[in-house]
Structure 1
Amino acid sequence: MAENGEAEPTSHMDDDPSEPTRTMKRSEPLAETGDFEEPTSKRVKLDLDGANDTTEGTSFKQERQKGVTPIKPEYLIDLSRTAEPTAQADDDAAESAGKPESKLSQGQASAGRGGQKTKGGQNHARQFGSSRDAIQLCMSRARVNEFAPPSCSFGAKCKFEHDLRKYLQDGKRGDLETFEGMCPILEVKGKCTAGWRCRFAGSHSKEVEHEDGRKELVLIKKNGETVHGDADEAEGEEGIAVANLVSVGDKIQLRKKKFPTPKSEQYLKWLDQRMNDTNGGSSKAENGDDEATDRVHDNRARYREPPLKPSEKRRIYYGPETPILAPLTTQGNMPFRRLCVSLGAQVTWSEMAMSLPLLQGEKQEWALMKAHESETLPPRYTPKAIVQDYDNSKDLKFGAQIAANKPWLALKTTEVLTSLAPSLRAIDLNCGCPIDLVYRQGSGSALLDAPAKLEKILRGMNTVSGEVPITVKIRMGTKDKHPTAEKLSRRLVLGGEEAQDAGEGPAGVAAITLHGRSRQQRYTRSADWEYIAECASLVQKLKTQKAGVTDTVREPDARDLSSSTSSSGLPYFVGNGDILSHTDYNDHMATGKLDSCMIARGALIKPWIFEEIESQQYLDKSASERLGYIERFVRNGLEYWGSDEVGVGTTRRFLLEWLSFSCRYVPVGILEVLPPRFGDRPPAFRGRSELETLLSSGNYKDWIKISEMFLGPAHKDFNFQPKHKSNSYEIEAEG
């Protein structure tokens, strides 16, 4: 790496861009050192415990140190020559960044910010600066030719620049030379929607000379045709590649509280009436009278259009073929999800969206509901087992996750989502978010301590969601060593006693996802997959219990069962936590008897984990291939956020966020023992090439260098402060 802080060109790296991906099965040895040849023909039996490894004709004992990634000795670096000591990545500190020390535990505060108090709130300690042009061009001139008549409604009072040549000369930084100087948006859409503000404007503009001798700057399309007039606003925002776009008019209606939610109003009115009847005296059902039960069953007749029962909703399917990309705060953006889908992710979820901002029509929150067109296509898997009433052609990949603390909030948000965002596979209620800001409002993991309220919310969401199924994501519990997920799962599958007495049946969720940690644990310990397996086995036991209540008062109505494709009508059960390889995925699926697994940080560290699961083998990605994924993300980001100065800055910011996780990846070829473990942290090491060494650096300055390969030098006001330090040390270049 260059000492002056500038990124070295990729052509100087030792890695061969044409080098194919190395694939390694569990019975194959790791790549040898030296010239980095393909794996030899020797067979190595890899013990999952890492204790005993045997080679054909030879046996030896391999000691695996707990918490330390086993790296081949020839790749290790003597820390006495490094500039900084090695520090472990702390996801818990990253998640709690920006909160006052008094509101965090002592361990969190010391790990996160060295004991320094920060401004209260969410991420106030992290300042990214701004990415703006020195002189900002008026939007009325951004996508028109130089001699186009003025159309600014503010006229002479406008504070932005209208002189195009002055803006290009003094107000805008030079064009980027990456991607061979070709605008990524122009290549995809045929016309750049950023116009003159694009950092690749030279690729879609030219100067023409008229008959009178005047020279005019004009915009051109990909086919060389001159652009006449302003670009269409709808196309200027997203184009045809984005689904779930909500119009400005609908957002204004939401902001003014005029958007209609008749289903929610009707259900909430009935719910209030039922609560009043219950509080007014003893229930008639308790006295042996079936009138209360009949009233609940006949409630659907009160609707002009009776709501769909859970079993009548669109069928969804979870199986070994459907690894799931978890909802990822900050990094679960569309460009990253689009990358994961291209690498084999079959189900994706939006970032967690707060219900109240959605109902208030906030642009930032509704942006989380946008999906790329690749996420609206049917999953490409074919279920191995025969599934009931499931049509793969009607399925899609993208689902929305929301957080709410009150029934009315969840119901109205669900109804609005199903009305304005048609491309949704399912709507998931977040009951696992451990962040203090969410927990104190009664949302997220706070709902784990209010099971009756949670059940009421889910039942109401099912009532107003139309054909869209409802799912829920939970944690083990709120307190360490006091898990409550098993009891909660039983309630969600069969319904609480009060619901059964009233004849309401189960809540009708289509899937339950369990994260194997408590709220108190956050990310400080490994996920408890033994407990996840216990909860998963509960669903199997409930099949027997369901048969045992046949012909009794407590028998669930078949219409109230979930929209899962299982023959029992019981919801799918999905595990989540610490999956870093296909072996983790397979082991958890087998031992836990799960329907599928959800992958979060493992996908951030190596997005090709979905390819590994599909191919059932380790993939030793070369450094050039990993750099290619970064380039793909940058192209996705520029296409989504824009190719102007602001879009480039936004793309750089989220790229750096991702690099803070991807730098933790240790290439398979330099590992001493497989499989890699999520909780292990590597000692200082160098890669098999300079590029691989750079990609493995935990120093955020190196992350900025990587971003500059595609996005040019960072803006002078750009100041990236990482959420956490991950193995932060200066890695010396070879030689």
Structure 2
Amino acid sequence: MKIGNLNLSGRAMLAPMAEVTDAPFRQICKEYGAGLTFTQMISAKGIIENSFQSLQSLAFNRSEKPIAVQLLANDPDYLKKAIYEIKQLKPDLIDLNCGCSVQQVCKYGLGASLLDDPVLLGKLVKTMVDAAGDIPVSIKIRLGRDKQNITVLRNAKIIEDNGASAVIVHGRTRSQAYIEPSDWSWIKKVKDEVKIPVIGNGSIFEPEDAIRMFDQTNCDFVFISRGALGNPFIFKRINSFFDEGTEGKAPDIDEVGSAAIRHLKMIIKDSGEPNGVIKARKHLIWYFRFYNGIRSFTEKIFSIDNSAQVELFILDHIQKIKYGFYPEEDLQKVRKSFNERILFWINDKKPVTTE
């Protein structure tokens, strides 16, 4: 499958999530089959003004390719200058976020607020395409401001007409944020409306969700965020469906543990100690949220600040899971609680997700 001149080996992509999709997480998702990964959402203005946080989020290494950079901007001039800077790093795709619904972003006329300004949206897309040269450009959008103001078909056509190579469609409105299920019917309508590749987004937590989205919308790719947390295996399982005709099997606890420990080591290498341990905690909780003992794991992981001890704790936890040490938990309830807590975290401005 292609986006512009970019050939991709998989049809599932890792979506940007602030404070989550750093280099270690992108790398491990790529190893498990993500066809394309995205940097965290980065301010175009921050790049031009040499903001440390923006430049840090922009960093990636060659082993991560193919990789996309996602920008946040509402000023064509800043956007053009930022892209000229970014091109030196040779990313494989550049994306503009017009889908972030967080108030802290929208109140500055950024993110999903751009859905209400078709003229500016068109200018931004054309600016990106002209500045990016042979690097493909994609635009991330939502259905519209609210259910009474659905603008997704108009905006998708503007994006196509101004030269973008793909459009990413999140099946919720700005006002819905992440509360209601994603309405995939609009993704299908966009696919019928435009000729450029359509990337479907929203409510993909399991491989079967992605397969249903492909079947119901005929989209070209799927964009996964929360569904990949502690679950990079989702990409391999989706790819298995297209390569072999059957959904790949879920990993056993040993594979989960091995991935968690490898991820921990990658974070420590990237951030050192003790910062790496602090960064790794949320990821480790996400890896083991599918198993009995998650409440005990969550309580104890915050008391350990040494990576070697964390690794020993993980190995011990795996053995306890395998031999039924922990009492049965309502894992469906745990999963629901997980989603709600992640959403609360989003609304509290960390992390910002584009799922």
Shorter-normalised TM range: 0.7 to 0.9
* In structure 1, C-alpha distance between the alignment counterparts of 2:287 and 2:305, rounded to whole Å: 13
User: Number of residue pairs matched?
Assistant: 309
CA contact (8 A) 1:660 1:698 kept: no
Q: Take 1:519 and 1:659, find their aligned partners in 2: how far apart are those partners?
A: 31
Shift of 1:706: 7.7
The code of the aligned residue for 2:187 comes to I
Deviates further, 585-594 or 478-487 = 478-487
Match of 1:357 among 37, 46, 50: 46
Alignment map for 1:543-554 (pairs within 5 Å): none
| Residue 623 (1) aligns with residue 253 (2) | yes
For residues 725 and 649 of structure 1, the distance between their equivalents in structure 2, rounded to whole angstroms, comes to 28
State whether residues 581 and 618 of structure 1, in contact with CA within 8 Å, keep that contact through their aligned partners in structure 2: no
Following superposition of structure 1 onto structure 2, how do residues 105-504 of structure 1 map, counting pairs within 5 Å? 315-317=5-7, 321-376=10-65, 397-419=66-88, 421-422=89-90, 424-493=91-160
Deviations 1:88-135 (A, max 9, x none): xxxxxxxxxxxxxxxxxxxxxxxxxxxxxxxxxxxxxxxxxxxxxxxx
Mind listing any 5+ residue stretches in structure 2 that lack a counterpart? 242-246, 312-335, 341-355
2:5 maps to amino acid: R
Name the CA distance, whole Å, in 1 between partners of 2:310 and 2:252.
24
Q: Could you say which structure has the larger radius of gyration?
A: 1
**Other-structure match for 1:521:** 176
| Whole-angstrom CA distance in 2 between matches of 1:484 and 1:444 | 15
What one-letter code is carried by the residue in structure 2 that aligns with 1:531? W
Q: Of 203, 206, 218, which aligns to 1:593?
A: 218
5+ residue gaps, structure 1, are 1-312, 377-396, 494-505, 540-569, 642-646, 666-691, 714-723, 729-735
| Alpha-carbon displacement from aligned partner over 1:24-52 (angstroms, at most 9, x marks no partner) | xxxxxxxxxxxxxxxxxxxxxxxxxxxxx
Aligned to 1:701: 299
**Letter matched to residue 417 of structure 1:** I
Equivalent position amino acid for 1:349 in 2: F
What residue number does 1:638 align with?
268
Q: Which has the higher contact order (CA 8 A, sep 6+)?
A: 1
Q: What secondary structure sits across from 2:140 in the alignment?
A: strand
Q: 4+ residue runs of structure 1 moved beyond 4 angstroms?
A: 705-709
SS at match of 2:134: coil
Distance in 1 separating the partners of 2:164 and 2:25: 28
- Match of residue 206 from structure 2: 581
| Deviation, structure 1 residue 443 | 0.8
CA distance in 2, matches of 1:338, 1:512: 24
Counterpart position of 1:223: none
Cα distance between partner residues in 1 of 2:220 and 2:339: 35
Kindly report the root-mean-square deviation, in angstroms, between the aligned alpha carbons of the 2 structures.
2.5
Residue type of the alignment partner of 2:192: S
In the alignment, is the contact (CA less than 8 A) between 1:318 and 1:572 conserved in 2? Answer: no
The amino acid of 2:61's aligned partner reads: H
| Aligned partners of 2:277 and 2:307 also within 8 Å | no
Question: Paired residue for 1:508?
Answer: 163
Q: Aligned partners of 1:588 and 1:454: how far apart in 2? A: 27
- Say whether the 8 Å CA contact 2:143–2:172 is kept in structure 1: yes
Match of 1:214 in 2: none
Contact 1:343–1:610 (Cα < 8 Å) also in 2: yes
Residue 286 of structure 1 corresponds to: none
CA deviations on 1:402-454 (whole Å, 9 max, x unpaired) are 001211111111111113x12x0111000011111111111111111111101
Q: Which residue of 1 aligns with 2:227?
A: 602
Q: Cα distance, 1:347 vs. partner?
A: 0.5
Conservation of the 8 A alpha-carbon contact between 2:268 and 2:307: no
Q: Is the 8 A contact 1:324 1:599 kept in 2?
A: yes
Output the TM-score relative to the length of structure 1.
0.40
SS in 1 for 2:199: strand
Distance 1:711 1:651 in 2: 13
Conserved 8 A contact 1:664-1:698: no
Show CA shifts across 1:627-647 (max 9, x none): 211111111112212xxxxx2
Partner letter of residue 704 of structure 1?
A: F
Q: 1:604, CA displacement in angstroms?
A: 0.8
3-state SS, counterpart of residue 598 of structure 1: strand
Kept in 1, the 8 Å contact 2:237–2:250? The answer is no
Q: Which has the higher helix share?
A: 2
